[in-house]
Amino acid sequence: MAGSVQYRRFRTLLIANRGEIACRVIRTARAMGLRTVAVYSEADRDAVHVSMADEAVLLGPARARDSYLNVERVLEAARKTGAEAIHPGYGFLSENAEFAQACADAGLVFVGPTAAMMTAMGSKSGSKLLMEKAGVPLVPGYHGEAQDDATLAAAAEKAGYPVLVKASAGGGGRGMRVVRAASELTAALESARREAKAAFGDDRMLIEKYVLNPRHIEVQVIGDSHGNLVSLFERECTLQRRHQKVIEEAPSPTLNAKQRETVCEAARKAAGAVNYVGAGTIEFVSDGKDVFFIEMNTRLQVEHPVSELIAGVDLVEWQLRVAFGEELPLKQDQIKLNGHAIEARVYAENPAKNFMPSVGRIKTWRTPEETDGLRIDAGYRQGSEVSPHYDAMLAKVIAWAPTREGAISRLNRGLEETDVRGVVTNIPFLSALVTHPDVRKNKIDTGFIERHLEKLTSVASAPSNVELAAAVAAILDQEAKAVSADAHSPWRTAGWMPVGRRKRVFVFRQGAAEHKVERHYGGGASTLTIGDHEIAFDYKPVGTGAIDLTLGDLRSHCAFVVDGREVYLRTRNGRFELHWVDPFGGDDEEQVGEDRIVAPLPGTVVALLAEEGANLEKGAAILTLEVMKMEQTLRAPFAGVLKRVKCKVGDIVQEGAELAEVEPAEA
């Protein structure tokens, strides 16, 4: 009958997603001999997943609701290309029961659970009711149908503050707020509903008791259409920020073998309550003693690679085999735990500016080789455009080793050898996080990052002689390459040079500090004078953007990027950003007055939180922008009066647009 589920072998697979997950699915599908079809928006015309697929279909404008979330356009793309199956990835339509049903109605294989399973388990509220009947322990709270403020307020009072307000259809921390007092509830509900509606098209909320010092543990499950259901151990996802996972690892370093079997058995019981078919994740929260069911994600998770690495399986391949109608390749007792895996999410965001998303063109993309237990899943490359319309995740760096300590060290090495320029990334923050002594000792909870944020986002230290010498070498290397590329340059051949010793002065600025370096050359070995010391200096290019530097008796390998007068360095001491001061005085920069509130990125004004003429304290909320599907609240930079508001709710504003003006209290 129409809409019935048909698992069958297919040849052509459409991936209804973008970025890293689309690339991930395409790689496995091609390895299995399948033909792949990508879909894309106008903003993603040159995206990596588009070039990887055998065919690609334009869905529409950049906004997700006009492209990736448009069910009819996705189905039309499948009809146009002869696709017989659709893999939804994660995010977008992956947990949309109506989409799953529409695929079935169109005679397409949906690589995932049925619409009925998705409805039962994909809804946070519905799944809690189901788990309650199945005897799975729940966090105290409210997951009913009534959504009026009075009902939710009463539920919050009954659970006891602090509580967690969560989008019923949510995920990835969107539509989620911690509420610590009754006076904060109304504003939190408004903001969470608005964000949930924009991200998922569903603004229903639930209330949960906020577990203090919690740990987040989840179990990977997968079932087939023959009644087989297995778990692939658990993952620890406790290191979060704004309820968004940052670091994930498997297995959990918190659980012993007995606890592991208990939580995995509970997960299989939860999924078995709906005879689950496909890949999914059962999420739990632990207070250190008990484990409570939170929700089920009826899709592949961002962090699935760590489960793959410790279980030795390809979950996307298993998803496709289940969709073919095959049995799972392994039974539960055949799945063995091997070693430890850990993953870090690389985002285009600025940790020093409250993790504000960063957009623009990636000018440099360098990642280490995927060897010795290191894996990199990416959806971007050099030249890719990071758009304000979608999630800011660029890639995942994943490491495996026999031990947790070895995996962490391997992950950090992978992060240290990754250079992305053109947009700001959280790579230094991730490196600081995974090397924090308490993280290595597993002394963490979900509030760890917020408590240690200042240290984890601290500014870079001052450059040493190594960095200053490397900056000089980087500039010389770039100049030599430019001369070599110019066939008509009179300096291409080693010829005439003025007699005697020559001197060239370089000045580098880091923040307010300036550093002077003199290079002496000609008539002998090259030297640098830094401060009161003259030191022997030489360098050798070793590939693009790297040099072996000799400074006195020290040899050091350094990576660099020179972009105009900006010099980025990665040395044994860390990462450094220096400005090469123009010796001819061309460094004046336009300053934006602090009294102006400007859009940090392109976005949509979704709320005005203060009126013109209002007296504001420093940090008072003025307005809220929706940027990259997340809300960003712009605040008063100092105490004063809101002199003018230059936007209204619904306005789509560009980066740098002036939105409001604050007059200092002293005026």
Give the integer Cα–Cα distance in Å for 99 and 115.
8
**Region label for 308, one of left (φ > 0), alpha (ψ between -120 and 50) or beta (otherwise):** alpha
Find the mean pLDDT for residues 354-379. Answer: 93
Q: Model confidence over 420-458: pLDDT tens digits?
A: 999 999 999 999 999 999 999 999 999 999 999 999 998
CB 241 within 8 A of CB 449: yes
As a three-state string, the secondary structure of 239-292 is: EEECCEEEEEEECCCCCCHHHHHHHHHHHHHHHHCCCCCEEEEEEEEECCCCEE
CA distance 87 to 110: 6
Q: Which one, of 149, 197, 295, 208, lies nearest residue 631 by Cα? A: 197
Give the chain's domains with CATH numbers.
12-111 (3.40.50.20), 140-209 (3.30.1490.20), 215-456 (3.30.470.20), 465-484+501-580 (3.30.700.30), 596-664 (2.40.50.100)
Query: Does the structure show a pLDDT above 50 at 593?
Result: no
Give, for 411, the enclosing helix (H) or strand (E): helix 404-416
Whole-number pLDDT of residue 591: 36
Catalytic sites, residue numbers: 299
Q: Answer whether residue 29 shows pLDDT above 70.
A: yes
pLDDT of 513 higher than 60? yes
Q: Which residues contact 494 (CB under 8 A, 6 or more apart)?
A: none
Peptide bond between residue 251 and the one before it cis (omega within 30 degrees of 0)? yes
Count the neighbouring beta carbons within 10 Å of the beta carbon of residue 461: 11
CA distance 500 to 181: 76
pLDDT for residue 43 is more than 90: yes
What pLDDT band is residue 626 in, cutting at 50, 70 and 90? confident
**What's the residue count for the chain?**
667
| DSSP reduced 3-state for 353 | helix
pLDDT at 493: 47
Assess whether pLDDT exceeds 70 at residue 163: yes
What is the C-alpha to C-alpha distance for residues 125 and 203, in angstroms, rounded to an integer? 12
Give the separation between CA 616 and CA 660, rounded to whole angstroms.
Answer: 13
> Is residue 420 helix, strand or coil?
strand
Burial of 133 (0-12, 13-18, 19+ CB in 10 A): exposed
Yes or no: say if 377 and 396 are a contact pair by the CB < 8 Å rule: yes
Calpha distance 419→577 (Å, rounded): 12
Please answer whether residues 101 and 116 qualify as being in contact, where contact means their C-beta atoms are separated by less than 8 angstroms: no
User: Which contacts qualify for 489-498: CB closer than 8 Å, 24 or more apart?
Assistant: 497/522, 498/522
Task: Work out the angle between the directed axes of helices 124-134 and 115-122 (0-180°, nearest 10).
Answer: 80
With 0-12 CB in 10 A as exposed, 13-18 as middle and 19+ as buried, what is 384? buried
* pLDDT one-digit tens code per residue, 74-106: 999 999 999 999 999 999 999 999 999 999 999
DSSP per-residue codes, 170-204: --TTTTEEEE-SGGGHHHHHHHHHHHHHHHHS---
For position 488, what pLDDT does the model report?
A: 58
Nearest to 43 by CA among 14, 18, 73: 18
Q: Which tokens belong to 153?
A: 């307020």
**What is the model's pTM?**
0.81
- With a cut of 80, say whether residue 587 has pLDDT above it: no
DSSP structure class, residue 326: P
Q: From the centroid of its chain, how far is CA 277?
A: 28
Q: Please tell me the distance from the alpha carbon of residue 48 to that of residue 394, in angstroms, as a whole number.
A: 11
Phi-psi sector, 621: left (phi>0), alpha (psi -120 to 50), beta: beta
Could you tell me the two tokens for 127?
Answer: 């799944």
Residue 662 pLDDT exceeds 50: yes
Contact in structure between 567 and 508 (CB atoms under 8 Å): yes
What pLDDT does 589 receive? Answer: 41
Return the pLDDT at 502: 87
Tell me the CA distances in angstroms from 195 to 147, 150, 298, 627, one per residue in order. Answer: 16, 21, 21, 11
Q: CA–CA distance from 490 to each of 290, 474, 484, 485, 494 (Å)?
A: 76, 22, 10, 12, 9
Across the chain, mean pLDDT equals 90
pLDDT at 487 over 70: no
| Cα gap 116→113, rounded to integer Å | 8
What is the distance between the alpha carbons of residues 577 and 567, in angstroms, rounded to a whole number? 6
Range from 107-121, 502-516, 582-596 carrying the lowest mean pLDDT: 582-596
What is the distance of C-alpha 489 from the center of its chain? 45
* Cα 92 from Cα 472, distance rounded (Å): 47
pLDDT at 1: 37
